[in-house]
Structure 1
């Protein structure tokens, strides 16, 4: 397994946000984590990327325990995140934001090749290379956030709510691009409130409720699960 989380607990002060969750992500998979607001999805992502410390349990990446590894070292190991809310550098151009994604790298030819790859995935960014990120639309900033994460050349790409606030047509486009990124060899862990889009493209998925994993299965199994349909898909 590429990523193995075992009995992970995360707390904010005295309040426990995650209650001993366990999940795995295999190499080459798209795995989704779905759940309502406040379920602990973003906390899970922050713990994996090293932004939130663990109160208990462990995180293993490529067989190595990274539970106490600094966030910047996890990027070097091959974990990159496109955060909730995009987090683009508003005063920097598209090119400068993408360059920030490659800050741990020194291979100039590889960086140039990856930048061209990002422009291939997101032609809109190629058209706006010199545009300052803060003046771009929400959809364009989302593309930039994903592109910036890809510039780290990750083995595991963490995507936190990539469809949030986007128009329906753009949501479809973003998810199609996520599949394309995966087909290019990048493993994806996806946190998403749009359960229909996420599950229909995921190899496997987990359902998180109030800091606990309550269900798991293939994307198709959860799409067909009546309790999931009722709770997250808006159909009986």
Structure 2
């Protein structure tokens, strides 16, 4: 299996505060890899740094063997990295269709039939978006906006999809649905890097996982291994889950 993303000894600061230090991990083509940890552990900072929204103090990021450590954020979608951010970040005054079109904005093949194929794929994954394609995003429910945020990221035709807290604020039934769709996206061939506080669902879906505590990776393994680990259960899965 080919390594798609390599993060090596990454250190990122907010002012003088060290948010993450010496973080190293890899994501192979075809995997779902998850980062789990408590609030403030550095998960979202790591994700923002991979997508180019936070500057690197030390360390490196490589994508498909290319050093992208200092590459501007707006150039990374062209390479094949797209993010569905924490908080969704939908364009609330625009329609569903307009939001999805914005996801394809950086593509070099915007006029090709492939864009329509990708739109059909998004509507296949999220039938609710097809039903409401003319609806203004700001009038949709939180779950619908989460679907839209993921769909918009998929419209960039990413090789690597970054999902930051996709279950945040959602009802349990919707959480299950979102994770089922994440699994389906991966089965369709998209590699996924997932940051998630719902550790039980994340570990259930992930091929591999890393645990962050106070800005450092303290444990790694397959999703199944970490889900069965007594210390992980006690800290993140509510005991004997």
Classify the TM-score, shorter chain. Answer: over 0.9
TM-score by length of 2: 0.97
Matches for 1:154-165 after TM superposition, within 5 Å = 154-165=158-169
2-structure distance, mates of 1:107, 1:232: 46
2-structure distance, mates of 1:143, 1:159: 11
1-structure distance, mates of 2:154, 2:122: 7
Which of residues 3, 8, 12 is equivalent to 2:10? 8
Q: Secondary structure at the match of 1:89?
A: coil
2-structure distance, mates of 1:109, 1:96: 18
Q: Which runs of 5+ in 1 are unaligned?
A: none
Residue of structure 1 equivalent to 2:45: 43
Residue of structure 2 equivalent to 1:88: 90
Q: Deviations over 1:143-178 (max 9, x none)?
A: 000000000000000000000011111101100100
Aligned-pair distance for 1:113?
A: 1.1
Q: Deviations over 1:185-208 (max 9, x none)?
A: 100000000000000010000000
Which of residues 144, 147, 150 is equivalent to 1:146? 150
Residue of structure 1 equivalent to 2:201: 197
Residue of structure 1 equivalent to 2:170: 166
Aligned-pair distance for 1:20?
A: 1.1
Q: Secondary structure at the match of 2:133?
A: coil
1-structure distance, mates of 2:33, 2:135: 33
1-structure distance, mates of 2:158, 2:180: 19
Residue of structure 1 equivalent to 2:231: 227
Residue of structure 2 equivalent to 1:77: 79
1:217 corresponds to 2:232: no
Residue of structure 2 equivalent to 1:188: 192
Q: Secondary structure at the match of 1:205?
A: strand
TM-score by length of 1: 0.99
1-structure distance, mates of 2:72, 2:21: 22
Residue of structure 1 equivalent to 2:61: 59
Q: Which runs of 5+ in 2 are unaligned?
A: none
2-structure distance, mates of 1:215, 1:117: 36
Aligned-pair distance for 1:108?
A: 3.5
Residue of structure 2 equivalent to 1:33: 35
1-structure distance, mates of 2:160, 2:32: 10
The runs of at least 4 aligned residues of structure 1 exceeding 3 Å deviation read none
